[in-house]
Amino acid sequence: MSGQKHIDEVTGVETTGHVWDGDLKELNKPLPKWWLFVFYACIVWSFGYWLVYPAWPTLSDYTKGYLGYSQRGEVAKEVADAKAAQEKYRAAIAADSLTDIQKNPELLQFAIAGGAALFGDNCAACHGRGAQGGIGYPNLNDDDWLWGGTLDQVYTTINYGIRTGNPKAHDTAMPRFGLDGILDPAQINDVANYVRSLSHLDVDAAAASKGQAIFAEQCAVCHGPDGKGNTELGAPNLTDAIWLYGNSQEAVMQSIRTGRGGIMPTWSERLDPVSIKMLALYVYSLGGGQQTQSASASTDRSASTDTAK
Amino acid sequence: MNAMDKGNKFIMEPAGAESTAAQPQPRVSRYAARSKVYPKLGHGTFRNVKWAVMAVTLGIYYLLPWIRWDRGPGLASQAVLFDFANQRLLFGPIEIWAQEFYYVTGLLVLAALSLFLVTSVAGRVWCGYACPQTVWTDLMIAVERFWQGDRNAHMRLDSQPWTFEKIWKKAATHITWLLIAVATGGALVFYFRDAPTLAAEFATGTAPTVAYVFLGVFTLTTYVLGGIAREQVCIYMCPWPRIQGAMLDHDSLFISYRDLRGEPRGPHKKGDSWEGRGDCVDCKACVTVCPMGIDIRNGPQLECIQCALCIDACNDIMDKVGRPRGLIAYTTVSNLENATAGPRDGLRIVRPRTVLYSVLIVLVSGLMLWSLLSRSDFDLSVSPDRNPLYVVLSDGGLRNGYTVKIANKLESKRHFKVSIRGLQDVRPQFIGFDGTDPVIDVAPSEVRAVRMYVSLSASARAQLKSDATPLTIAVIDTETGIEASRVTTFRGPAE
């Protein structure tokens, strides 16, 4: 361009001087002045920003800025603050016994709330978000406990786990009666009929009466002569309404044929002791927790109202 | 001749506007600069009413936070306190908790309905007398008059160059405005924190940051909206002038110039005949007093806030020229339309819309009063567990879980017991409590949540009629025997 101004004849407005298709010109409409000044102000502002806030990447890091601010640091501080606020309770939980914690409403509330969060992170994958369990994963809300439902027993089960190889873990398993050839398929059918008859399900009476003898011989060792189970061995009560693997004839036969041996992690290898205590208190609070004989005898109303202060 | 010939004007001109000018014409700006309003001080009935309303409303606003109310040791002693920190609204003996915020909703509904009723009967009286924008603008104008003189003196001062006199008068005005603004912002903050404490904190510079922020915000809004923006707030910012058209009809009062009587207008010399001419002497007294800067004689206008100052001004003139008062007056569209058929200045108050608004006001206030009087000093909420909905027990029985929240609204520790109705042979269980019938202590002014389980044995399941059976959970104050109950459900498997 020659520096000469091109004026559009029709509008009287200056054009950019570019011509397309022989006669198509573009009017020169510069940015509004106020907009331009805001833009320049932003440029000036950005220099201050670079100095004050994190701005430029370096080869291995970035410039931290005068304020040293970072959102990650802010989160870390909030987490640290929250942890510090919890420290009083966590220290008390670490120091107190489970029954002492139960008698302190404030501490119990904290433990149950923390336990609920931990349960969601660690346990819900198998036991379900509401601890309702599923086939092979016990429902923790009910009053049927494979390894015992007192607070201490729940704590022990969580702490050491089940069949993990840890020396203190619960470690008995049901034999594979069918796979290992201990019982033949007809016998398994008979025993299954008998087991189902214990909880008053519809069974083939003839098969059940044949199965009774086999039960006494093979199963009563762990499940007890009356089929009521044994929490020492993790042998379920076969006379109640709760069936971990289902109560159909086929499901019971399957259990006898292949045995059963669910696994739960040794949580003491993954969580700190305070967390495990909180989890035990939470699971116990789900409603199925059983009182130990001594605990139920020693408590009365006046004790509970005193501690509720 | 084609469209391009119209040049750059085609954007600015409405569609269909015919222009054949070949030469580009200068752009017409649609922006009109504000012409400053210099309202003259009026005298008369309505001016006195406005002074009185200002004194009462501002008096209430500035002084209310300082009224004390003894609630007992250690408790807030301010009669009206919006205690956000503790989630309480305190109005003398009434204490509204956060979960009872519906009372505030009810008050707002009531305020809106009252505004509707008043507007449908008497037009924009809210705008003219009681709106904070009107009251504070009126106050700011009074301050301006005090320092810079009334309309004529003020206009003269504004047209002067910046002399020392002009500078100090302007400065004094703005300083007074700012002082009023600070007092206004300060008074608002006092509603949210104990006033004497906060005043001391302000004095020593130890008040919470948020107090300074809101003091600043409301100082600024008072100064800018009341002192500087004034009538522009009503004309351009406020939605209410647009909305209230829906409440007005032919029988609503509004301020109007009676053009039948006033026209043709013109100057009148003493002794001249009044025959063949209107009563309006075109003195512009109504225009000079108008705080909105309009001419009421142009008919009803959106800008008119119906402050009635023009009535005072015109009545004054009518008295002087010896004509009857009321050339500008409160009237209705019906009356104006009927004026040709003879004078008829009736006011029809009972109309479908006023009846409807009145009935709604009575209903809402009745509902609120009933709810307030029957309000208990403790509150109960029951939420049943949703995951799992129910638990099957080893004996074949069922168990449901509930979270029971008891809110103790008194300032003393209380003891409650829970009872369950609607199902027989239930076994309750309370987490953190021993026994099936524990006493639950709730600390003063606290909400306590208790986990509760309700079990039914296998044999008792027969009484369940469906997968969701109604169940009533009641909480009884062990000292007074007063009970609160909630109906919830007991769930089981679908049969």
- Are A109 and B432 within 8 A, CB to CB? yes
Cα angle value B395/B399/B405 (rounded, 5°): 155
Q: Are the Cβ atoms of A142 and B4 closer than 8 angstroms?
A: no
What is the sign, positive or negative, of the torsion defined by CA atoms of B295, B298, B302, B308? positive
The pLDDT score that the predictor gives to residue A287 is 83
Give the fold, CATH level 3, of B378-491.
Answer: Immunoglobulin-like (2.60.40)
Average pLDDT over every residue of A264-276? 95
Q: Provide φ and ψ at A297, rounded to 5°.
A: -75, -35
Q: What is the pTM assigned to this prediction?
A: 0.66
User: Helix, strand or coil for residue B90?
Assistant: strand
pLDDT at B342: 56
CA B47 to chain A, closest CA, distance in angstroms equals 45
Q: Do B391 and A139 touch (CB under 8 A)?
A: yes
Both structure tokens of A85: 């606020």
| pLDDT for res A10 | 81
- Identify the architecture of domain A174-258 in CATH: Orthogonal Bundle (1.10)
Alpha-carbon gap, residue A251 to A243, rounded angstroms: 10
Q: CB distance from A132 to chain B under 8 Å?
A: yes
> A222 falls in which pLDDT band (50, 70, 90)?
very high
Instruction: Reduce the secondary structure of chain A to three states and give it as a string.
Output: CCCCCCECCCCCCEEEEEEECCCEEEECCCCCHHHHHHHHHHHHHHHHHHHHCCCCECCCCECCCCCCCCHHHHHHHHHHHHHHHHHHHHHHHHHCCHHHHHCCHHHHHHHHHHHHHHHHHHCHHHHCCCCCCECCECCCCCCCCCCCCCHHHHHHHHHHCECCCCCCCECCCCCCCCCCCCCCHHHHHHHHHHHHHHCCCCCCHHHHHHHHHHHHHHCHHHHCCCCCCECCCCECCCCCCCCCCCCCHHHHHHHHHHCCCCCECCHHHCCCHHHHHHHHHHHHCCCCCCCCHHHHHHCCHHHHHHHCC
C-alpha A163/C-alpha A176 separation (Å) is 16
Choice between B89 and A309, residue whose per-residue pLDDT is larger: B89
Asked if A130's CB is within 8 angstroms of B396's CB, the reply is no
Give the chain A residue nearest B385 (alpha carbons).
Answer: A130
Preceding omega of B264 cis (within 30 degrees of 0):
yes
- Which residue among B393, B415, B434 places its CB closest to the CB of A300? B434
Whether residue B9 lies within 8 A of chain A, CB to CB, comes out as: no
pLDDT of amino acid A300: 38
Q: What is the mean pLDDT of residues A140-156?
A: 93
Nearest partner of A193 among A206, A181, A182, judged by Cα? A206
Contact list in B for residue A12 (CB cut-off 8 A) is: 7, 24
So what's the ipTM on this one?
0.73
- Contacts of residue A293, defined as CB under 8 A and 6 or more positions apart, other chains included, come to none
In B, which residues are within 8 Å of A102 by CB distance? 432
Indicate the domain borders of chain B.
1-31, 37-375, 378-491
Nearest residue of chain A to residue B437 (CA atoms): A301
Lowest mean pLDDT among A103-107, B26-30, B182-186, B218-222: B26-30
**Alpha-carbon torsion B267, B272, B277, B281, what sign?**
positive
The residues facing B9 across adjacent strands are none
Model pLDDT, residue B15: 44
